[in-house]
């Protein structure tokens, strides 16, 4: 039985397209904000069905520039889900605003009722996170928070659809990460903002690079959050493969679910709510995820805990802990285990993962609370 890695970030020796894309940038000698970034921005905006795309240096930068572009900063509050990557919260605190945590529902999405209760006169926006690849119901968020702009954090949901629309194209703006583990991945850091608001897109372009309209005129004060040409060239190739990769993830997820449904002690993410997911992560629930994780590791299967600790449990946000009880997020965090997922997973890998989990269950879940 060979090892099953959680992700595979290597570029195959026979991946001629990605290698040729890099070579062409090397030959052209234009390395920052050139023709590849322009072309990627056009192609990604079109793919997402959005009017504008601005390539930036990371998903966190994308969120920060959206917030800054909206004029959000010190004294402002932004509603965020308790269950998310810590980057969602960090973007808010980095612009000087306060992340206001609200609990999630059993499908890891922000709970609209909790969001409504968290609203205050200082609320300037809500960040709706399409977590794990599952598109969130934005209508429910909009109904709960009338007139509050919705920023979509799409870092885990490239290409996911809400009805006919891709994520990121319904709110005021969508933020994407191209971190190497994401469904659309660069060979390093990268990110993008999409929006239909031309004025916001224009401000974000200025915020991306020293407030420059042209190299000689800085119109506003701003830092550097640029996407580079090599990453953009690689992203153009991989954008053409995104739908196939997402379809492969859905097949793997369906296989996991079919084969784990009757295994005692583990609960696959099932049912209607997950139909449209692009399966960035495949997250099981079990009462002792750390124990199962260790059992799998001994069988060379890599499983990870997303997200433990949660942002409000991190030392960085210790001053905000306890403001609101977050029982569902904490329950999910204590029960979640992510299985290896991605286009690299073979049917032999699926066998190895399922066999190891079945072995653990058959042995009475050794080491866990279910062992008795």
Question: Which range, of 152-160, 318-326, 341-349, 358-366, touches ligand PLP by CB under 6 A?
Answer: 152-160
191 forms part of the interface with ligand PLP (CB under 6 A): yes
In whole angstroms, give the CA distance from residue 345 to residue 74.
45
In whole angstroms, give the CA distance from residue 222 to residue 294.
46
- Return the number of the residue (136 or 301) whose C-beta is nearest ligand PLP: 136
Alpha helices in 153-266 (DSSP H): 198-208, 229-239, 242-260
The residue within the footprint of ligand PLP, chosen from 36, 132, 134, 156 (CB under 6 A), is 156
Of 170, 280, 194, 176, residue with least CA distance to 235: 176
84 forms part of the interface with ligand PLP (CB under 6 A): yes
50 forms part of the interface with ligand PLP (CB under 6 A): no
The residue within the footprint of ligand PLP, chosen from 88, 169, 246, 277 (CB under 6 A), is 88
- Return the number of the residue (332 or 354) whose C-beta is nearest ligand PLP: 332
Question: Smallest distance, Å, CB 61 to ligand PLP?
Answer: 7
Burial class (CB within 10 angstroms; exposed 0-12, middle 13-18, buried 19+) of 198: exposed
What angle (nearest 5°) sits at the alpha carbon of residue 48, between those of residues 307 and 277? 40
342 forms part of the interface with ligand PLP (CB under 6 A): no
Size of the site for ligand PLP (CB under 6 A): 15
Please confirm whether the linkage preceding 300 is cis (ω < 30° from 0). Answer: no
44 forms part of the interface with ligand PLP (CB under 6 A): no
193 forms part of the interface with ligand PLP (CB under 6 A): no
The terminus-to-terminus CA distance of the chain in angstroms comes to 29
The residue within the footprint of ligand PLP, chosen from 36, 55, 60, 236 (CB under 6 A), is 60
The residue within the footprint of ligand PLP, chosen from 123, 170, 177, 195 (CB under 6 A), is 177
What angle (nearest 5°) sits at the alpha carbon of residue 227, between those of residues 222 and 232? 160
Helical (H) or strand (E) element with 159? none
Helical (H) or strand (E) element with 360? helix 347-362
Return the residues of window 211-250 that contact ligand PLP according to CB under 6 A: none
* Cβ contact 348:340 at 8 Å: no
* Cβ contact 309:334 at 8 Å: no
Question: Smallest distance, Å, CB 183 to ligand PLP?
Answer: 10
Question: Which range, of 20-28, 52-60, 74-82, 103-111, touches ligand PLP by CB under 6 A?
Answer: 52-60
Question: Smallest distance, Å, CB 208 to ligand PLP?
Answer: 14
Tokens coding 149: 């702009």
87 forms part of the interface with ligand PLP (CB under 6 A): yes
78 forms part of the interface with ligand PLP (CB under 6 A): no
Return residues touching ligand PLP (CB under 6 A): 58-60, 84-85, 87-88, 129, 153, 155-156, 177, 179, 189, 191
């Amino acid at each position: 039985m060979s090892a099953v890695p959680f992700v595979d970030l290597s570029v195959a020796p026979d991946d001629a397209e990605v290698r040729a894309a890099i070579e062409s940038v090397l030959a052209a000698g234009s390395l920052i904000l050139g023709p590849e970034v322009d072309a990627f921005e056009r192609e990604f905006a079109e793919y997402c069905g959005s009017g504008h795309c601005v390539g930036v240096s990371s998903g966190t930068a994308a969120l920060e520039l959206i917030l800054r572009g909206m004029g959000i900063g010190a004294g402002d509050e932004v509603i965020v889900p308790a269950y998310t990557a810590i980057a969602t919260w960090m973007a808010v605190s980095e612009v000087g605003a306060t992340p206001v945590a609200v609990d999630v529902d059993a499908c890891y999405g922000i709970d609209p009722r909790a969001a409504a209760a968290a609203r205050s006169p200082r609320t300037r926006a809500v960040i709706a996170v399409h977590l794990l690849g599952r598109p969130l119901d934005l209508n429910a968020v909009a109904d709960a928070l009338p007139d509050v702009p919705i920023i979509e954090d799409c870092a885990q949901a490239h290409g996911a659809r809400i009805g006919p629309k891709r994520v990121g194209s319904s709110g005021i703006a969508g933020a994407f990460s191209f971190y190497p583990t994401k469904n659309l991945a660069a060979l390093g850091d990268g990110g993008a903002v999409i929006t239909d608001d031309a004025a916001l897109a224009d401000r974000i372009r200025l915020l991306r690079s020293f407030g420059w309209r042209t190299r000689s005129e800085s119109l506003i004060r701003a830092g550097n959050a640029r996407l580079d040409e090599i990453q953009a060239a690689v992203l153009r190739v991989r954008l053409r493969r995104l739908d196939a990769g997402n379809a492969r993830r859905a097949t793997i997820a369906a296989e996991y679910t079919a084969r784990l449904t009757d295994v005692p002690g583990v609960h696959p993410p099932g049912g209607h709510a997950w139909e449209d997911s692009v399966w960035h992560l495949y997250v099981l629930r079990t009462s002792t995820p750390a124990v199962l994780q260790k059992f799998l590791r001994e069988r060379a299967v890599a499983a990870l805990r997303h997200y433990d600790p949660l942002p409000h449990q991190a030392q960085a946000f210790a001053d905000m802990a306890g403001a609101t009880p977050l029982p569902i997020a904490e329950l999910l965090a204590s029960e979640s285990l992510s299985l290896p997922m991605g286009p690299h997973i073979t049917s032999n890998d699926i066998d190895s993962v399922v066999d190891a989990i079945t072995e653990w269950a058959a042995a009475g879940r050794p080491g866990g609370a279910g062992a008795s």
